[in-house]
Amino acid sequence: MQRLQPESVALLVVDVQEKFVPVLFEPDRLIAACQLLIGGAKALGIPVFVTEQNPEKLGLTVAELREALGDAYRPIAKMEFSAFGSEEFRRAFGASGRTQLLLCGIEAHVCVWQTVQDALALGYEVFVAEDAVTSRYAFLWRSGVQCCVEAGARRTNAEMALFELLGSAEHPQFRAVQSLVKELAPRIYGEEAPLKERRWQFA
């Protein structure tokens, strides 16, 4: 599988909706990681797609992500679990010309998993940001991610994906992405240990 390429990838935010988020495993981590990916994608000029599962019953995408998306909040409503089960999404994604798909959202073992299966079957390269997906239970989250990897998707995380897309500290958007990382990483990965406790990292 190739590396993530900014001219080839699109970000898909899957069903992070108001009535579902409160019952999820580690919802704050999920939202912060999705915010990081959305902000980074926008800084890098990467197209962002958003789906909402049965929004009349499950509500809209959560306010934090709607705010992060801004003008990119153009949700595609669906009833199918896979995003590719939606004809509107299939047309929109196909028209983008993108060949790589980076996924975040919920649930890892249902909508994310079935979207991964369909994307792979259609010949797309698929990347799952492990920190930016979850399910109602930790077991289902881990199982869903593992199934995606075994099917042929590549496991990544929000920070890893963005720095892979930057490629260099000389990238014109490096500082913008770095600022997002500094703001959001503690909510995703936990507070850093004091420097004296991290000296092993520099050995």
User: How far is residue 79's CA from residue 108's CA, in Å, rounded to a whole number?
Assistant: 17
Catalytic annotation, pick one of 15, 42, 118, 131: 15
- Side-chain-facing half-sphere of 91: CA atoms under 13 Å: 4
Cβ-based neighbours of 143, under 8 Å, separated by 6 or more: 108, 109
What are the structure tokens assigned to 118, written together? Answer: 């369909």
Catalytic annotation, pick one of 34, 42, 104, 111: 111
118 part of the active site: no
42 part of the active site: no
User: How far is residue 43's CA from residue 99's CA, in Å, rounded to a whole number?
Assistant: 20
Q: What are phi and psi of 31, to 5 degrees?
A: -65, -45
147 part of the active site: no
DSSP string for residues in 105-171: EE-IIIIIHHHHHHHHHTT-EEEEEEEEEE-SSHHHHHHHHHHHHHHTPEEE-HHHHHHHHH-STTS
Catalytic annotation, pick one of 78, 118, 131, 148: 78
Name the residues annotated as catalytic: 15, 78, 111
